[in-house]
Structure 1
Amino acid sequence: MLQLRMTGRGLWITVLIVPPLCFVALFVVYPILSAFAYAFFDWQGLRRLDFVGLQNFHTVLFVEPYRSWTINAFKNNVIVFFALMVLQNGLGFILAYALWRELPGARFHRIAVFLPVVLSTIIVAYLFKLFYHPLFGVVNISLKSIGLGWLAQPWLGQSGTALWSIIIAQAWHMVGFPTLVFLAGMQRIPGEILDAVRMETESEWVKITKIVWPLVAPSATIVFTLLFVGAFNWFELPYIMGGLDGSPFGSTDVLGLYFYRTAFGNVSAGQQNFGLGSALAVIIFLFIAIVAGFITTRLRAREIQL
């Protein structure tokens, strides 16, 4: 009887697990393996596949103009990562600490901080496009109303401000996620440790640097790793706010946009090359996997030391 029950339970578990596994295999594993395969072929969609070996990788990394496009997109992704490290994760830690101190209206503030995260990226993109509009956008109107009209400008239309404008939109959109992760880590700090610190010092800075930050190291590992992966997979916001070409003049171009243009073409380029696009996708995938693994390993080692 017990064996029958165990057999039935195993069958039920199999029924529950197999459909999701098939879904993952079809829409995740198969595309990844296909990209690895197509990366070694010259294929533009309608013609037959021609095996070219490592030529696509060489073209993307060393042949102009692809080399310049790759460097520019990669540089912008690096800027996005470090900027969001400060704006998104840094601000998230500060907000988490403020919420952890149980300020008046803490529940309302938690909801308000996390609310932008549940908004669609498309909604956030178009909302900030309206904010940044050069004629009737909230940003320029506000600057003019306080006598700083000379600062008003087309924020998404200039190379020096376009990328940073999109980064600010991204930080506003996702700051709630690291806030809640850090807050969860802070709430797990034993009360005895906090009581001992209060007896020794009144300094908030000492409490943060010597107690809070070391004890939320596991939370930091999560948010830093996910931020790195997200920063180098960035696509939706720059696509909607800057366009597929990374306008103006490539200042908002990132690896995701560059891959899409290369693989599927666009109006200005008028070409598509699945082989080059797949090679670029493989390079991006391997770079993210290796660096994310390194970051996770180093941060976990830091957790053990702390």
Structure 2
Amino acid sequence: MARNSTSKPPFRWHIAVFLAPAVLVYTAIMILPLFGTMQLSLFRVENQQSFFVGLDNFRTLLGDERWSASFWNALGNNMWFFVIHMVVQNPIGILLAALLSHPKLRFAAFYRSAIFIPTILSFVIVGFVWKLILSPLWGVAPNMLDLVGLKSLFAPWLGQKEYALTALGLISVWQFIGIPMMLIYAALLSIPDEIIEAAECDGITGASQFWKIKLPLILPSIGIISILTFVGNFNAFDLIYSAQGALAGPNYSTDILGTFMFRTFFGFQLQVGDKNMGATIASLMFFIILIGVCVYLFGIQRRLRRYQF
């Protein structure tokens, strides 16, 4: 008897079995806390009793003068922190990847390892070490600049409102520049040799080959790096906290959404912790990241697919 061609294929139970542990762990440590945080943002505690207030906490955070000034300051600092990484880290990472992928470069493996090593260091170590390096009292930065005749340019950057956040952004760039470098390096190596050989036959070599041939082909990878940079920067907390403390000084000039949420949720010094408002800030951070990711997935990624090979 012939098998019915319209019968459904059997369900592959082994796929569900293999996926179940990862799904359970992810649900326990990510999904449930996320929904718990969003639920907490819809309540307010008064007289030791919890009341459902809907979106009032969000209105308070965005409209009340006691909260809105701190929130918009932290959001603006987060945006500047992100811009520093997009403008400095990713272009330099692309340049380094292009240089290290050159077939005639010697010791390329050593250079890649040396650039990538800071990425695996702890935030706490990086924050304290750079704070010591840039200290005007016992730091080595003034002496190092003096060796090259640039000591007059030194300033206590981490202690000045105008430069503290930029200095921390550049420190973060130094630590994580190895990630875009390695991703772009892998993308460059994956370009088929036939394309490069065809470009060389047409007389396209050197820098013009990179700009006209390689760069368009690695645009999807650059897009992925950009969205990873966006998500990472709007989740940032550790470096600011380890270098400047929970108050994100001087005078909150380095305060970002992560440190603002930490002080609000747990309290700090004379500030009493407010779990509901802290959860409100965390929920807004999630929505900001979600909007950015959706813009990339449904707007930018579709346009970049034409460059894939």
TM over 0.5: yes
Asked if 2 retains the 8 angstrom alpha-carbon contact of 1:41 and 1:53, the reply is: yes
CA RMSD of aligned residues (A): 2.1
- Following superposition, the deviation at residue 166 of structure 1 comes to 0.8
Asked if 1 retains the 8 angstrom alpha-carbon contact of 2:264 and 2:275, the reply is: yes
1:116 to 1:282, Cα distance in 2 relative to 1, 3 A: same
Deviates more, 1:288-297 or 1:147-156: 147-156
Out of 168, 188, 192, the position equivalent to 1:166 is 168
SS in 2 for 1:160: coil
1:113 to 1:149, Cα distance in 2 relative to 1, 3 A: closer
1:188 counterpart = 2:190: yes
1:33 aligns to what?
Answer: 35
1:3 aligns to what?
Answer: none
1:304 counterpart = 2:305: yes
Superposition TM-score, scaled by structure 2 size: 0.89
Q: 5 Å matches for 1:66-145?
A: 66-102=67-103, 103-145=105-147
- Following superposition, the deviation at residue 297 of structure 1 comes to 2.9
For 1:197 and 1:95, how far apart are their aligned partners in 2? 22
- Following superposition, the deviation at residue 224 of structure 1 comes to 0.7
Gaps of 5+ in 1: 1-5
2:250 aligns to what?
Answer: 248
Superposed CA offset, 1:34-77 (max 9, x none): 11111111138x92212222110001111112111111111111
Out of 197, 206, 209, the position equivalent to 2:211 is 209
For 1:298 and 1:203, how far apart are their aligned partners in 2? 33
1:280 counterpart = 2:281: yes
- Following superposition, the deviation at residue 28 of structure 1 comes to 1.1
The amino acid of 2:64's aligned partner reads: V
The amino acid of 2:102's aligned partner reads: R
Superposed CA offset, 1:242-268 (max 9, x none): 111110011100001111111111114
For 1:285 and 1:84, how far apart are their aligned partners in 2? 20
- Following superposition, the deviation at residue 279 of structure 1 comes to 1.3
1:15 to 1:295, Cα distance in 2 relative to 1, 3 A: closer
SS in 2 for 1:42: strand
Asked if 1 retains the 8 angstrom alpha-carbon contact of 2:123 and 2:242, the reply is: no
- Following superposition, the deviation at residue 277 of structure 1 comes to 1.2
Report how many aligned residue pairs link the two structures: 297
The amino acid of 1:219's aligned partner reads: S
Deviates more, 1:97-106 or 1:146-155: 146-155
Asked if 1 retains the 8 angstrom alpha-carbon contact of 2:220 and 2:305, the reply is: no
SS in 2 for 1:156: helix
For 2:300 and 2:203, how far apart are their aligned partners in 1? 28
The amino acid of 2:278's aligned partner reads: G
Asked if 1 retains the 8 angstrom alpha-carbon contact of 2:199 and 2:205, the reply is: no
Asked if 2 retains the 8 angstrom alpha-carbon contact of 1:42 and 1:273, the reply is: no
Asked if 2 retains the 8 angstrom alpha-carbon contact of 1:262 and 1:274, the reply is: yes
The amino acid of 2:120's aligned partner reads: V
The amino acid of 1:122's aligned partner reads: V
1:261 aligns to what?
Answer: 263
1:221 to 1:264, Cα distance in 2 relative to 1, 3 A: same
Asked if 2 retains the 8 angstrom alpha-carbon contact of 1:43 and 1:274, the reply is: no
For 1:177 and 1:295, how far apart are their aligned partners in 2? 19
1:178 aligns to what?
Answer: 180
